């Protein structure tokens, strides 16, 4: 049976340990660049998966990651960034990693073979068809990840498998297959390198596209961020200024009224009367800022047109009265 691509030893790196440092570093860098390039071929799969995830999330579902070893850590990193960057509630994001939380301190490589642990971890989540479960495994055959995805499929949840070997069991198991066909590692089997880079890149693209489609990005700005430090507070003020056209002082005042929430502050800058009205408008369009701005503009135009019509009627009445009196 041929070795999986992620385990292959490449003749290209024969004598690697005798090379000069710059040659070794160049070889590793080329491997990283090649790994990123492989994600290009996965873009259609990532796009289809993102669309499906958005639909289920908007129906109340969660985003659940599952991985082991380096893949699990990469998955956890992606999940941790979403609440602060895009305001996605942390309670709607779950990461399952073989070996549990302890593996984030010291990786438990033996745990990746433990199917029972995977089943014990996934069962309390009580998966539904609204949930989206992303399984990440460089080899595509990690027992822990396969067990999680089997449970997800049984619950009719969305299943996405991300692997670096064609025909991997994980890909065959899932409705969305993301093959990251990275080259053999410079150090054979060290999948934290090429495979890990491809996985991180693909997850970055996937979760960011989901956030964009959920309406958390406007003109390239993260309009649903949590302004939890001075840097982010400055960023929030700048975003409100750029998106609504108000000055920084006014933007800061609106952010105070909204409790630091950027989207409603932008809407107030666009003419919505209060933070409460802005929140109500956002709720009516599932939090999509662009759509909320469009609705506000339509309502404003309608209001202006209505007032103009009434003024025209009053003017016509006055003109009529004058003509009668002159007659």
pLDDT at residue 302, rounded to an integer: 61
Sign, CA dihedral 82-84-86-91, equals positive
d(CA 168, CA 141): 6
Contact 140, 163 (CB under 8 A): yes
Please work out, in degrees rounded to the nearest 5, the angle formed at the alpha carbon of residue 59 by the alpha carbons of 55 and 60. Answer: 125
Q: Is 293 left (phi over 0), alpha (psi -120 to 50) or beta?
A: alpha
Structure tokens at 210: 């989901």
- Could you tell me the CATH number of the domain that includes residue 260? 1.10.8.1080
Question: Secondary structure of the chain in the HEC alphabet?
Answer: CCCCHHHCCCHHHCCHHHCCHHHHHHHHHHHHHHHHHHHHHHHHHHHHHHHHHHHHHHCCCCEEEEECHHHHHHHHHHHHHHHHHHCCCHHHEEEEECCHHHHHCCCCHHHHHCHHHHHHHHHHHCCCCCCEEEEECCCCCCHHHHHHHHHHHHCCCEEEEEECCCCCHHHHHCCEEEECCCCCCCCCCCCCCHHHHHHHHHHHHHHHHHHHHCCCEECCEECCCCCCCHHHHHHHHHHHHHHHCCCHHHHHHHHHHCCCCHHHHHHHHCCCCCHHHHHHHHHHCCCCHHHHHHHHHHHHHHHHHHHHHHHHHHHHHHHHHHHHHHC
Catalytic site positions: 81, 112
Final residue of a domain: which of 157, 182, 213? 213
Please check whether residues 206 and 268 belong to one and the same domain: no
pLDDT at residue 306, rounded to an integer: 52
pLDDT at residue 27, rounded to an integer: 93
pLDDT at residue 4, rounded to an integer: 72
Please check whether residues 41 and 180 belong to one and the same domain: yes
* 175 alpha-carbon distance from chain centroid: 19
d(CA 306, CA 295): 16
Domain extent at residue 231: 221-326
Final residue of a domain: which of 157, 181, 213? 213
Please check whether residues 119 and 170 belong to one and the same domain: yes
Please check whether residues 9 and 78 belong to one and the same domain: yes
Please check whether residues 15 and 46 belong to one and the same domain: yes
Residues sharing a CB contact under 8 Å with residue 174, sequence separation 6 or more, in sequence order: 135, 149, 153, 159, 160, 161
Please check whether residues 35 and 163 belong to one and the same domain: yes
Final residue of a domain: which of 190, 213, 236? 213
Please check whether residues 316 and 179 belong to one and the same domain: no
Please check whether residues 71 and 195 belong to one and the same domain: yes
d(CA 156, CA 150): 10
Number of domains comprising the chain: 2
- Could you tell me the CATH number of the domain that includes residue 182? 3.40.50.10490
Q: What is the mean pLDDT of each run of 10 residues along the chain (327 residues)?
A: 68 90 95 93 98 96 96 95 93 94 80 92 97 96 96 97 94 96 83 90 97 94 89 94 96 94 96 96 93 92 56 58 57
Please check whether residues 195 and 249 belong to one and the same domain: no
pLDDT at residue 303, rounded to an integer: 58
Please check whether residues 50 and 124 belong to one and the same domain: yes
Please check whether residues 66 and 201 belong to one and the same domain: yes
Please check whether residues 189 and 227 belong to one and the same domain: no
């Amino acid at each position: 049976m041929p070795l999986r691509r992620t385990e292959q030893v490449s003749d290209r790196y024969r004598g690697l340990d005798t090379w000069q440092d710059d040659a070794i570093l160049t070889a590793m860098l080329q491997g990283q660049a090649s790994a990123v390039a492989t994600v290009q071929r996965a873009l259609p799969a990532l796009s289809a998966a993102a669309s499906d995830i958005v639909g289920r999330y908007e129906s109340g579902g969660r985003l659940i990651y599952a991985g082991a070893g380096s893949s699990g850590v990469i998955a956890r990193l992606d999940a941790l960034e979403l609440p602060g960057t895009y305001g996605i509630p942390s309670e709607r994001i779950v990461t399952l990693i073989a070996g549990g939380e302890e593996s984030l301190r010291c990786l438990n490589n033996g745990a990746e073979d433990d199917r029972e642990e995977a089943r014990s971890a996934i069962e309390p989540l009580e998966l539904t068809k609204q949930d989206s479960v992303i399984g990440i495994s460089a080899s595509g055959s990690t027992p822990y990840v396969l067990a999680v995805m089997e449970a997800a499929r049984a619950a009719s949840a969305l299943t996405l498998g991300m692997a670096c070997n064609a025909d991997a069991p994980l890909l065959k198991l899932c409705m969305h297959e993301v093959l990251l066909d990275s080259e053999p590692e410079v150090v054979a089997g060290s999948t934290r390198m090429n495979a890990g880079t491809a996985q991180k890149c693909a997850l970055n693209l996937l979760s960011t596209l989901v956030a964009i489609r959920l309406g958390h990005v406007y003109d390239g700005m993260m309009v649903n961020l949590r302004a939890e430090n001075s840097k982010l507070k400055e960023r929030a003020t700048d975003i409100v200024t750029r998106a609504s056209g108000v000055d920084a002082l006014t933007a800061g005042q609106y952010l105070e009224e909204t409790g630091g929430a950027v989207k409603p502050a932008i809407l107030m800058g666009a003419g919505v009367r209060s933070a409460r009205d802005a929140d109500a408008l956002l709720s009516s369009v599932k939090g999509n800022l662009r759509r909320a701005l469009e609705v506000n503009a339509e309502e404003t135009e309608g209001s202006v047109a209505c007032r103009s019509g009434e003024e025209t009627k009053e003017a016509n009445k006055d003109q009529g009265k004058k003509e009668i009196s002159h007659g």
